[in-house]
Amino acid sequence: MRRSGEVKVSATTTINKKNTSSGALKPGTYFMMGNFACVEAAIMAGCRFYAGYPITPSSEIFERACVRFPEVGGSAIEMEDEVASAAALIGASYAGSKAMTATSGPGFSLMMENIGLAFITEAPLVIVNVQRAGPSTGIPTLVGQGDMMQARWGSHGDLETIAYSPSSVQEFFDLTITAFNTAERFRTPVFVMADQVIGMMWERLKIPSIEGVEVLQRKVMDAKTRAKPFDYANDFIPMPIVGTGTNINVDSLTHDYRGYPSTDYTVSESMIGHLLGKIRRHAEEIWKWDGYLLDDAEELVVAYGSTARSALAAVKQARANGIKAGLLRLITPWPFPDAIIERYSRRVHNIVVPELNYGQIVHPVRENAQCPVIGINRAPGALMDPTTIVDALEVVAN
């Protein structure tokens, strides 16, 4: 019931005319939909396996992957549901492939169990969530930002997650490549938390030459060395690849350095310490943010995704109205850039956080800010009007 839109191949059959020998699109300027840009980025990042279930407003990603992945020697398969989709990614990842899927809220919920499995088995993969409006099936065709906390806490047990939040078609492209690199480096699931506006809008896209794009490959375990497959003393462990003779056990249970299940407290402590620590210890290397008119800002807007576009228009308007407003755009909501918020909060009077939900990212902002933090929360289903944010800035500034 929640799924709308079947996979139609015909709409994209002319794509291959512009391909380079690697299969990636030729460098140049394109006019492209965000969801399509995501697929082109995945191909450029070396992803060759897609397993998914179409769901609005992410379906164009699957649709284009079905055409493009076979063109570049990859596979895109339709699974019976999103539970299986995420499981297939883990299998593909352990078989040595870069793997991805795309979904929206309802599918993201179904993936949570296997996101935990990918986390504990340290399987690099990328999950794109083109967020729609509302709980349950909500409004499939309209925008929301209600899955931001789910991306952080949706899977049970202690997890540390990495999420990118694009604000334009270009950034959807760029961050999808970054997401694959981060997944490969940290051997962990990485999310691209887009939304309906960004996924379905058409904009200018500059595709770089593949030589100019940094593409990371995971470290792969050499079967002959008989290395510890889960060496918790090291943040970045080479990955054992199925079929190469490493003969290791990959387990969803808490496991020791050999991969064998254990109920020993010291094993639990070292495993979870490793899983969380490899991200926490390098969080600053993951953080990305962007600033606009921050130098003399007295009132700060912290925003992400499509709402950051409204916020940028609002900051310009507020400046015109005589308010020294600035914008801090969170490109990585997770791991949360706590020190960045703390640093800028010391320079401003107030922070306002506009979100298309009833208060999610405002919480870690408040936890880390040294000034008052005011959430601007709107029901999902429409992009926030800049005047809503201007009004809030007028109130806090006076």
Partner 1 sequence: MRSEIRITGLGGQGAITAGNILARAAVLYEGKEAVMTEGYSPYVTGGWSRADIVISTEPIDYPLVTKLDLLVTMYQEGLDLNLKMIKGNGAVIAEKQLVSFSGVTRKDLRMIPVPATSIAESLGRKIAANVVLVGSIAALVESVSIESLKKALADRFPKAIEFNLKALDAGYELASKATGEHMEEAKQVV
Helix residue ranges, H only, the chain:
34-44, 59-71, 82-94, 105-121, 148-153, 169-186, 196-200, 265-280, 283-286, 307-320, 338-345, 362-368, 386-397
203 or 251: CB nearest partner 1? 203
Minimal distance, residue 292 CB to partner 1, in Å = 9
Q: Among 163, 197, 210, 365, which residue interacts with partner 1 (rule: CB under 8 A)?
A: 197
Minimal distance, residue 25 CB to partner 1, in Å = 14
Conformation bin of residue 11: beta by default, left when phi > 0, alpha when psi is -120 to 50: alpha
- Amino acid letter at 150? Q
Site for partner 1 in 287-346 (CB under 8 A): 306, 309-310, 312-313, 316
Minimal distance, residue 165 CB to partner 1, in Å = 15
Evaluate the CA torsion angle 272, 274, 280, 281 in order and state its sign.
Answer: positive
List Cβ neighbours of 320 (8 Å cut-off, separation of 6 or more). Answer: none
Q: Is 29 in the site for partner 1 (CB under 8 A)?
A: yes
Minimal distance, residue 57 CB to partner 1, in Å = 10
106 or 189: CB nearest partner 1? 106
**Which DSSP string corresponds to 35-47?**
HHHHHHHHHHTT-
Q: Is 10 in the site for partner 1 (CB under 8 A)?
A: no
34 or 105: CB nearest partner 1? 34
Q: Is 58 in the site for partner 1 (CB under 8 A)?
A: no
Q: Please count the residues of this chain forming the interface with partner 1, following the rule CB under 8 A.
A: 20
Q: Are 7 and 59 in contact (CB under 8 A)?
A: yes
Minimal distance, residue 309 CB to partner 1, in Å = 5
32 or 162: CB nearest partner 1? 32
Q: Among 72, 201, 216, 227, which residue interacts with partner 1 (rule: CB under 8 A)?
A: 201
Minimal distance, residue 200 CB to partner 1, in Å = 6
114 or 306: CB nearest partner 1? 306
Residue 2 half-sphere exposure toward CB, CA atoms < 13 A: 24
76 or 312: CB nearest partner 1? 312
Burial of 133 (0-12, 13-18, 19+ CB in 10 A): buried
149 or 201: CB nearest partner 1? 201
31 or 265: CB nearest partner 1? 31
Minimal distance, residue 82 CB to partner 1, in Å = 22
Q: Is 200 in the site for partner 1 (CB under 8 A)?
A: yes
17 or 224: CB nearest partner 1? 17
198 or 210: CB nearest partner 1? 198
Burial of 242 (0-12, 13-18, 19+ CB in 10 A): middle
Other beta carbons within 10 angstroms of residue 342's beta carbon come to: 13
Q: Is 13 in the site for partner 1 (CB under 8 A)?
A: no
Minimal distance, residue 384 CB to partner 1, in Å = 9
Minimal distance, residue 118 CB to partner 1, in Å = 33
Per-residue CA distances from 93 to 32, 237, 261, 333, 370 (Å) = 29, 15, 21, 25, 42
Minimal distance, residue 301 CB to partner 1, in Å = 12
Whether omega before 57 lies within 30 degrees of 0, making that bond cis, reads yes
Span between the terminal Cα atoms of the chain, in Å: 48
Q: Among 78, 113, 203, 290, which residue interacts with partner 1 (rule: CB under 8 A)?
A: 203
Site for partner 1 in 106-145 (CB under 8 A): 141
| DSSP helix/strand/coil, 376 | strand
Entry field: residues in the chain? 398
Site for partner 1 in 374-393 (CB under 8 A): 383, 385-386
Q: Are 133 and 142 in contact (CB under 8 A)?
A: yes
Residues of this chain that bind partner 1 (CB under 8 A): 14, 29-31, 141, 197, 200-204, 306, 309-310, 312-313, 316, 383, 385-386
